[in-house]
Amino acid sequence: MTEVRHFRQIVLWPLQLMPLRDDVQIQRHVDLLARPDGTTPWHELLDEFDCDPHDFQERHYAEFVNFLPSVQRVLYGEGHDAGDTPRPASIRVFRRDDVQGMRVTLHPDGAPVDLRIAHVDLYFFFDIDVVIPVVEFFAERLPLATVQELLYRVGRAYPPYWEEDGHAGHCPWRVEWLARDGAVLAASDYERRDKYLEFVGRHRSPGLAAHWEWLLAPMVQHHSSDPGPVRFRQIEYHRMPTMAWLAFDDVDVLTRADWVRLGMMTGAGDPTLLPFSQRHLQDFEPRYCIDRFFEPECGARWMNTRMICTGPGFAMVGRAGEAAYTDRERGLLAQFRHQYFVVFMLSHFQKAALLMLSDRLVVALSRLDIQDIETIRRFKRNIRQMLEIFLRFTHRYWFHEISNQVQVQDVYRMLSGHLGTDPLYVEVRDAVKDMNAYLEGDTFRRQANTVVRLTVVTIFGLVGSVLTGLFGMNLFDFSAIPLKLQLVLFPLVGLVVATLLLYTIAKAKPLGDFLDAVSDERLPLKAKVGALLAVWRRPQR
């Protein structure tokens, strides 16, 4: 039986945060969790730089210098420079310390697997309404089949279906969060089929498993009836993106089927049989594997480490006897937990942010009623806000180059390619531009209509101006009549003039058509007279 000496898994799940106020662009969800009164289990994690410079750790230094300056400013902010005010990082992290373990029962008749929790975090991003919960757990000396099942089943937000025996498909039989003393804090309820069916039937949105609901509290699902200061909704699939780090005594014992199952996280199976067809997997290695330092039976020449990146999953596999692979401070384990985790999280954040903007465009368009002036105004305001948010996202979070380290850049490019973020970015950008072009076109159309109305009023007002110019301004000697009569005539004359003006504006479009007809030398006199009579013709419905 093949054994995994050291196993570590990180699951993260990008979620869309619902706006707190519609009239505010930059929402401050983190302020509702950053309460020192103990009303939430979360506390803000201090930045690595918020310590005595002499206590700054080497693994954080290695993480920092691994990225390009533009990425460094997003992840870590900027410090004091020549008296300038320091700029904080664009990411704020919250952590809860009450969850110390996780017990997973994979199958109804299987023994539970105890895993230790490294940390449970929430990552908030400034100016983008996306939050990413992150759970990291690990164990020692597990059978390879158990590890494959953990990678496949843990990280399911809700079941996609149920077996005949009531077991939720693709999900563990039971998941329990454990306290430091081993007490059960919360447990899953994948088997409650009626609960999930009722939730979808009522809200047209999938419900969450009980242990994930408990873990994310006081954040609550948008369609849930539970009260909560921060509400969220799902963006992507129910299977959470997963990272895995595995150390074997000898990686050469792994078959090609084992590599495919670890990379694609398909669950346990016969190591001599591929989980998919040979034709489907013919480009598995060049498409998903980074084999810069991997060669079967290479001996002690290299660490013999392979990285497999499929987009939703990332796996790093190496030898347990290599200190350069297992060292928590300087080895690839440290890089996996820091550099590669940041790359993996940023890639999924970019996709989640683009999907969130796309979803809001659809929502804004669905609420538009061209017969309702108020919805038109709200639509214009929402589109302009999303255009500004998209521009800030582009200049703050959108990177094509993330690092000068070859392997890190390879992983980033591979993740972006498999996740499809580049075409998604173009799609959202074009949609935002189309919406903005529509608003600009509508604005120009309204301005043109206003100019036409003013032109018509000016032309027909020219008649009165010429008459008064010929006969003099004082055509009627109002100064000779009594003051009381002047006070009566003044509002009456004003009312008549205003009525004529408003009537001319109301008839501005047909009057404009009449002026166009008069200026067209090709039209006969009859057509011009018809255009004049059309001013008072009732428009057809």
> Given 215, 238, 261, which residue is the final one in a domain?
238
392 part of a folded domain: no
Pairwise CA distance, residues 353 & 131, whole Å: 10
What's at 336, amino acid-wise? F
Q: What does DSSP assign to residue 184? A: E
Beta bridge partner(s), residue 220? 231
Pairwise CA distance, residues 319 & 127, whole Å: 42
**402 with 345: CB under 8 angstroms?**
no
- Tokens representing 297? 């039976």
Specify the number of domains making up the chain.
Answer: 2
Query: CA 31, 390, 372: angle at the middle one, nearest 5?
Result: 90
Which H or E run includes 121?
A: strand 113-125
Q: What does DSSP assign to residue 340? A: I
317 part of a folded domain: no
**Nearest C-alpha neighbor of 133 from the set 102, 157, 100:** 157
Pairwise CA distance, residues 517 & 530, whole Å: 9
Pairwise CA distance, residues 425 & 350, whole Å: 9
14: helix, strand or coil: coil
262 part of a folded domain: no
Query: CA 78, 84, 90: angle at the middle one, nearest 5?
Result: 30
CA distances from 171 to 107, 151, 153 (A): 9, 11, 5
**217 with 227: CB under 8 angstroms?**
no
**Nearest C-alpha neighbor of 47 from the set 28, 72, 29:** 72
515 part of a folded domain: yes
511 part of a folded domain: yes
Determine the pLDDT at residue 85. Answer: 58
279 part of a folded domain: no
Pairwise CA distance, residues 92 & 75, whole Å: 9
Determine the pLDDT at residue 81. Answer: 56
pTM: 0.82
**Nearest C-alpha neighbor of 418 from the set 291, 514, 252, 287:** 287
> Given 238, 260, 288, which residue is the final one in a domain?
238
- Tokens representing 537? 């013709």
Contacts of 223 (CB under 8 A, 6+ apart): 199, 203, 205, 233
Q: What is the largest CA-CA distance in the chain?
A: 118
Q: Give the phi and the psi of residue 71 in degrees, each rounded to 5.
A: -75, -35
Number of neighbours of residue 302 by Cβ within 10 angstroms? 14
**Nearest C-alpha neighbor of 205 from the set 228, 227, 222:** 222
Helix ranges restricted to H, 369-473: 373-397, 406-419, 421-471
Pairwise CA distance, residues 476 & 492, whole Å: 15
Pairwise CA distance, residues 335 & 293, whole Å: 15
| Residue numbers of the domain that contains 192 | 12-47+89-149+157-238
Token match 């490019």: residue?
Answer: 413
pLDDT in tens, the chain (541 residues): 789 999 999 999 999 988 876 666 667 777 777 766 667 888 888 765 555 555 567 777 777 888 888 888 888 877 655 455 566 778 889 999 999 999 999 998 889 999 999 999 999 988 888 999 999 999 999 999 999 999 999 999 999 999 888 889 999 999 999 999 999 999 999 999 999 999 998 888 898 999 999 999 888 888 877 777 888 988 888 899 999 999 999 898 999 999 999 999 998 999 999 999 999 999 999 999 998 888 876 666 666 899 999 999 999 999 998 888 898 888 899 999 989 999 999 999 999 999 999 888 888 888 877 777 788 788 888 888 888 888 889 988 998 888 888 888 999 999 999 999 999 999 999 888 887 777 777 777 777 767 766 676 677 667 667 666 666 556 566 666 777 776 776 777 778 777 877 777 777 777 667 667 766 677 787 777 777 777 777 665 5
First-to-last C-alpha distance (Å) of the chain = 81
110 part of a folded domain: yes
Pairwise CA distance, residues 360 & 439, whole Å: 17
41: helix, strand or coil: coil
Alpha-carbon dihedral 325, 326, 332, 337, rounded to 10 degrees: 160
79: helix, strand or coil: coil
Pairwise CA distance, residues 122 & 215, whole Å: 11
**509 with 454: CB under 8 angstroms?**
no
Q: What's the chain's Rg over C-alpha atoms?
A: 34
Q: What is the DSSP string of 222-263?
A: TT-SS--SEEEEE-S-SBPPEEEEEEES-GGG--HHHHHHHH
> Given 209, 238, 267, which residue is the final one in a domain?
238
Number of neighbours of residue 126 by Cβ within 10 angstroms? 16
38 part of a folded domain: yes
CA distances from 380 to 19, 44, 103, 360, 370 (A): 17, 37, 50, 13, 12
**275 with 264: CB under 8 angstroms?**
yes
Contacts of 305 (CB under 8 A, 6+ apart): 293, 294, 316, 317, 318, 319, 325, 332
Determine the pLDDT at residue 54. Answer: 52
